[in-house]
Structure 1
């Protein structure tokens, strides 16, 4: 199935912002192609019955919006035999709450694996946390150029701490701005934390990098 011409003007960011307001693409199995939001990082993003391929190179067929966009054979073909493929993630959205920031910059945590991964796939990364402790929240320009949040809480302090960290991170984002979070479905602890903090699921995503972009 070829991309639907009359939808190619709709950016992925617009689709995600619309989804945050409960407005979703028509679930008719179609897909569109858009430009990647970050050089070297490409993605397949799916909604119910509709898919978006943010890709630079050729798209091997067939592709469809009824789950076919996440066919492992497609993502493997897009990335190539030596490319990098991230996990298939659920995409959730919330909105910034603004107000006095609760979290502070934590330059001592910039080497944390969560922060290192964010720098590899996002721009304008900020590493935040409480004045003390190892809890970390990372904000940056991620999926579709929107603000993306990731976080991690040490196992010893779990039990509500993660939920509070997510809510405090949202206070570091301008009120009303859409914030996205990508979470592997099998990561039940993080998924439940995001849901409890007010995020809602709207789709799925899988990032990849072609071998040529990794060199």
Structure 2
């Protein structure tokens, strides 16, 4: 699959204030990561990334539409089968800050649960943090949603960092003006507030699954 993935294009456009038409429709796109499928929903429009063993008629029969139907739990469970289903997340976008990074590579954090989760659904996962060995603050940077750079962040509660501070530091790992995404559970209000304070803006939702269809 060459070129820019449709989801990357839609999210990049959204980062610049350009959104799909509010038409209530869903559109089918190819999965961007082997073995992972998902739904990205924006206001009144949804993109469903699913392998070609699922017919459009099956997706329609499960109630897909751009007004919430594409993220209905029955649809997601119907497409995932017996496979793993991730939580529904808010998709946030920002621009990289570039410059001199304030974080350093931390290969010792590769076994952190957040890093392991990132490795399961993204490619090229790299782990970063602060230089102090006893600081377990973690930033993952990977090729994620739709092929865009994706950040994951967890702050070591024993240290004095704020979530917004770590998130802004993470943005220095991404080239200036490069669109970067992050996903956050809606109920994780602390993380969501930190992302907003660091300059991220919410544009969509995403739910991922690893299908196992009988």
Normalised to the residue count of structure 1, the TM-score between the two structures is: 0.91
Alpha-carbon distance in 2 for matches of 1:23, 1:201:
13
Alpha-carbon distance in 2 for matches of 1:10, 1:166:
25
Partner of 2:172: 171
Cα offset, 1:101, TM superposition: 1.3
2:150 corresponds, among 136, 148, 151, to: 148
Partner of 2:90: 90
For residue 158 of structure 2, give the secondary structure of its aligned residue in structure 1: helix
Structure 1 segment 58-207 matched on structure 2, within 5 A:
58=54, 59-60=58-59, 61=61, 62-80=63-81, 82-132=82-132, 133-157=135-159, 161-207=162-208
Cα offset, 1:63, TM superposition: 1.1
Confirm or deny: 8 A CA contact 2:103 2:169 kept in the other structure: yes
Alpha-carbon distance in 1 for matches of 2:76, 2:202:
22
Unaligned runs of 5+ in 1: 1-8
Cα offset, 1:164, TM superposition: 1.1
Alpha-carbon distance in 1 for matches of 2:208, 2:47:
12
In terms of mean alpha carbon deviation, does 56-65 or 124-133 score higher? 56-65
Aligned Cα RMSD in Å?
1.4
Alpha-carbon distance in 2 for matches of 1:26, 1:10:
18
Alpha-carbon distance in 2 for matches of 1:196, 1:112:
25
Partner of 1:24: 19
1:42 lines up with 2:37 in the alignment: yes
Cα offset, 1:162, TM superposition: 1.6
Cα offset, 1:211, TM superposition: 2.2
Confirm or deny: 8 A CA contact 2:5 2:147 kept in the other structure: no
Unaligned runs of 5+ in 2: none
Alpha-carbon distance in 2 for matches of 1:87, 1:202:
17
